[in-house]
Chain A
Amino acid sequence: MIKQTNITPMIQMDNVHKSFGTKHVLNGLNLTVQKGESVVIIGGSGTGKSVALKSILGILKPEQGSIKVDGREITTLSNRERKPVLAKIGMLFQGAALFDSIPVWQNVAFGLIQGEGMNKHDAREIAIEKLRRVGLTPDVGDLSPAELSGGMQKRVGLARAIASEPEIIFFDEPTTGLDPIMADVINDLIVECVQDLGATTLSITHDMASARKIADRIAMLYQGKIIWDGDKNEIDTSGNDYVDQFIHGRAQGPIEMQLLKP
């Protein structure tokens, strides 16, 4: 376990509540991610994993609770004030979310050119280097994102997330939609890139193989709360019925799937 000293945690969520209409998605979420740590949130579909990430980014505003990024409370910041905080964060999206109107290299260099105002020539150099880092050749840079396979899009998404060398990286279901081998390749790349940068990471997934590979610590989200949180090596001996049901993928157990809409 990481010692709880008085070092400021990179991400600290306290009693976060978020609902959509009458549906309470986050119900007092508490989560702390220390600097340099890799935390993976696991949980079924619709348990609020994405909502948690989007709340940290400020894309969604929680009704209650506090979210601090590197010691800075972000729930009360305006869009403008949030910009320096967002500059510390890179994110790999579930569907890669590449901009299809511009070529691959401009996607990778987007944050450098638009966000940091770097000139195009230097930004292109960095983009090509990052593409190489994720195992893509420079000629891929001139293709359009629509010409790439799912695995290649994920790699480009990863290159874009690490291009501005962020201190914090979010991975939203990094292996969803990939075959098991490509999923493992992406997991390896994530681990390598994170080690290179010494970044703090927060990932969400329901792929246990991926969680075991990229996590230092695993937290399980159920009904808008963290119900278990521990070192990844302790997950098989958690003694928590909910965690056991999830990691073994059993239909029977305390977690009841809501197949019918309420």
Chain B
Amino acid sequence: MTNPLATIGRVFLNALAEIGRLSHFAAVAVMHIFMPPIYWRLALHQMWLIGYNSLPVVGLTALFTGAALAQQIFVGGSRFNAESVVPGVVVIAIVRELGPVLGGLMVAGRVSSAMAAELGTMRVTEQIDALTTLSTDPINYLVVPRLIAAVLTLPLLVLVANTIGVLGGFVIGTERLGLNSGTYLQVTTDFLEKADIVSSMVKAAVFGFVIALMGSYHGYNSRGGAQGVGKATTNAVVSAFIMILLANLIITVIVFGNQV
């Protein structure tokens, strides 16, 4: 006999406890960034894994999205004889929203899962405990390099994604929709503002933090063998997705909420 109210209460309390544990883990991890040693070699290795290896998937995502976006804006805009808005809307949509969000989601799919699986396996095979016995702080050795690498790498990746996304729109716009290439580039640069690029980079850095935090948190705290590692991997990706979309909304409201 389960009281439905008790079930609701339990779910709610569990969620609060999980938020508390995650916040505590995040606070400890951030504090350790300022507590040497920092393993720069490991951070560089992670930057390579996160950044360079994600380039193809992030680039293709941006290319196809930018191209599809240009096509849709053209169709929508032509109802009002407003085909000329294509370059402006494409660059704003890509730089402000789609570049960082889709880039972040793609990297989260690749990287949060890999981090959770690696740290989760290290946890269940006692490798994390072994670090402690070898006078090495596991947070410093495992979590801090991943956080630093993701926060520094995601803005670079998103910069590439933004460029390729705009390029995708440009290719469809000029090759298929008959827009003038010189005008297209002119309108693109006219519409783009410094605040757009800055907000895009800020979003990317925040998403990088979320990706590394979720991968590390779920991996570091995984329990119960192979099944536990599998669960940690899934939870890492799902929670990173949700957190990226939520963080995106919050940053968008803060940065652009007052512009009417």
Q: Interface of A with B (CB < 8 Å)?
A: 54, 57-59, 79-80, 83, 86-87, 89-91, 93-95, 97-100, 110-111, 114-116, 160-161, 164, 170
A59, B130: Cβ atoms closer than 8 Å: no
Q: With CB as the reference atom, state the residue of chain B lying closest to A116.
A: B135
User: Which residue numbers of B lie inside 8 Å of A, CB to CB?
Assistant: 35, 122, 125-127, 129-130, 132-137, 141
24 pairs of residues in contact across A and B, judged by CB atoms under 8 Å: A54-B129, A58-B132, A59-B129, A59-B132, A86-B132, A86-B133, A90-B133, A97-B125, A97-B126, A97-B129, A98-B127, A99-B127, A110-B136, A111-B134, A114-B135, A114-B136, A114-B141, A115-B134, A115-B135, A115-B136, A116-B135, A160-B134, A164-B134, A170-B133
* Closest Cβ neighbor of B42 among chain A residues: A101
From B122, B127, B130, B136, give the contact of A91 (CB < 8 A): B130
B75 to chain A, nearest CB (A): 51
Determine the chain B residues whose CB is within 8 A of the CB of A114 once the complex forms.
134-136, 141
Residues of B contacting A80 in the complex (Cβ-Cβ under 8 angstroms): 35
Residue of A nearest to B37 (CB): A114
Is there an interface contact between A97 and B127, defined as CB atoms closer than 8 Å? yes
Looking at the assembled complex, report how far the CB atom of A83 sits from the nearest CB atom of chain B, in whole angstroms: 6
The reply to whether B136 and A57 form a contact with Cβ atoms under 8 Å apart is no
**In the complex the two chains form, what is the Cα distance from A160 to B122 in whole Å?**
17
Shortest Cβ distance from residue A231 to the other chain B in the assembled complex, whole angstroms: 28
Chain A residues lying within 8 Å of B127, measured Cβ to Cβ, are 97-100
Contact of A97 among B130, B135, B136, B137 (CB under 8 A): B130
Which chain B residue lies CB-closest to A160?
Answer: B134
Contacts of A116 in B (CB 8 A): 135
Question: Min CB distance, B158 to chain A, in Å?
Answer: 28
| Complex: A83 Cα to B135 Cα, angstroms | 6
Contact of A95 among B126, B134, B141 (CB under 8 A): B126
| Complexed CA–CA distance, A210 and B255 (Å) | 66
**Who on chain B is nearest to A82 by CB?**
B132
> Are A93 and B130 closer than 8 Å at their CB atoms?
yes
Q: Report the bound CA distance from A80 to B134 in whole Å.
A: 14
**B118 to A, closest residue via Cβ:** A101
A90 to B243, CA, bound (A): 40
Kindly state the separation between the CA atoms of A93 and B135 in the bound complex, as whole angstroms. 15
Q: How far is the CA of A111 from the CA of B16 in the complex (A)?
A: 38
Shortest CB-to-CB span from A261 to chain B, Å, is: 14
Minimal beta-carbon separation of A113 from chain B (angstroms): 9
- CB nearest neighbor in A for B129: A59
Top 6 closest pairs, chain A to chain B, by CB: A115-B135, A111-B134, A97-B126, A97-B130, A91-B133, A114-B136
B99 to chain A, nearest CB (A): 32
Q: Provide the bound-state CA to CA distance between A80 and B34, in Å.
A: 13
What is the bound-complex CA distance between A68 and B66, given in angstroms? Answer: 63
Q: B216 CB to closest chain A CB, in angstroms?
A: 16
* Cross-chain contact A93 with B134 (CB below 8 angstroms): no
Q: Report Cα–Cα, A111/B132, bound state, in Å.
A: 10
Contact partner of B133 (CB less than 8 A), chosen from A79, A89, A98, A100, is A89
Contact B130 A87 (CB under 8 A): no
- Which residues of A have CB within 8 Å of B135? 83, 86-87, 111, 114-116, 164
